[in-house]
Amino acid sequence: MLVLLVTTGSRKKVLKDTQAIRYLENLDNPETIIVTDESNLDIFNSIQKFKVKLYPMNAETFLILKNKKFDLIMDSSHTELSQAFLGEFYNIIHNSNCHYIRSSNHCVYPNTDYYFEQLSYPVDFIHSKIKAKGKFLIGINIGESEHVTKKPPVKLLVDLMNKLSLRCECRFVLFGNNYNDVREKMILRSFKFDSNNIISMVGLEEAPLLAQAISLCKVFISFDSFRMHLSTAIGQKTIGLFARTSSHLTGDFKNLVKITADKQIPCQSCNELTECELIETNNPNNYCFNSIDLNETIASVIEIITGRDDEL
């Protein structure tokens, strides 16, 4: 049974709508999609008794859901935007076998004068860009900041990609913000294999789209950063590279493999406001990220994507 629950408004009002949750708990194994506003997302994260997917209240969500065949639509919405959202489902509600339950004193109005915001990307943008083509998809975060100490050196990333290409049939999905377009070009020039096996998502910033893109990968490799924590939050199998930051400051997650520097870094955690003394020595072996064990990283990737522990 596929259920759509649209619930928005003040936290107090949403919490009063617990009868909707009790109703769902009494159904026979419902698959539930909850669309709500950002301030209320955490309320439903704790619901474990039935399958729940959470979506934010925006235009992308409407385009994703509009062709689904819902058995039940529950309206507990209390904002103009959510009423407009449900108004788009008017024909579905009234011209199908879909049941509709609404809170008192609220109703769905067809042909509402509310217009959704302009989409940043077409709704199928991520799937059109990221295609496995029969190979393992490996996501790699190449950088999120202009500061040199906040991301692994290009050589380390290229060596990792070249060695993984020798070990398995894979394609790489590169992530990073717009500050890292030069690094992306350097990686493309130094990659020894077919450049068609590199998919660029560099410059993609919107968290919902990033989450979707990361979820399509078999494994996601990242230094300690926003994208790494986003990957662990959505349950993706993640390999975290810890050099400039301490792995002890990041919680233990079942889906996170921590690869730590194999030597003590005296300036950990990094003070990026000052010049890097390790880089200034001009000895690349001193740089914190260069003490990451690539063989350990590769072994962890192979174990995840193949489901077995390979000895190198």
Domains, the chain, with CATH or none:
2-102 (3.40.50), 125-306 (3.40.50.2000)
Q: What is the pLDDT of residue 174?
A: 98
Mean pLDDT score, 248-263:
75
| Least confident interval from 120-124, 157-161, 200-204 | 120-124
Strand partners, 7: 36, 76
Of 251, 196, 273, 207, residue with least CA distance to 55: 207
Q: pLDDT category, 164, cuts 50, 70, 90?
A: very high
Instruction: Band the pLDDT of 278: cuts 50, 70, 90.
Output: low
Is residue 312 scored above 80 in pLDDT? no
Distance CA 264, CA 21 (A): 50
pLDDT at 114: 34
The phi-psi region of residue 134 (left if phi > 0; otherwise alpha if psi is between -120 and 50; otherwise beta) is left
Closest CA to 198 of 209, 178, 183, 210: 183
Q: What is the mean pLDDT of residues 53-78?
A: 78
Residue 282 in this model has a pLDDT that exceeds 50: yes
Does the pLDDT of residue 116 top 60, yes or no? Answer: no
Q: Are strands 170-176 and 99-102 parallel, antiparallel or unpaired?
A: unpaired
Copy the structure tokens of residue 248.
């002890």
In sequence order, which residues have a C-beta less than 8 Å from that of residue 173 and are 6 or more positions away? 130, 137, 138, 139, 140, 199, 201, 213, 216, 217
**Count of residues in the chain:** 312
- What was the pLDDT predicted at 117? 40
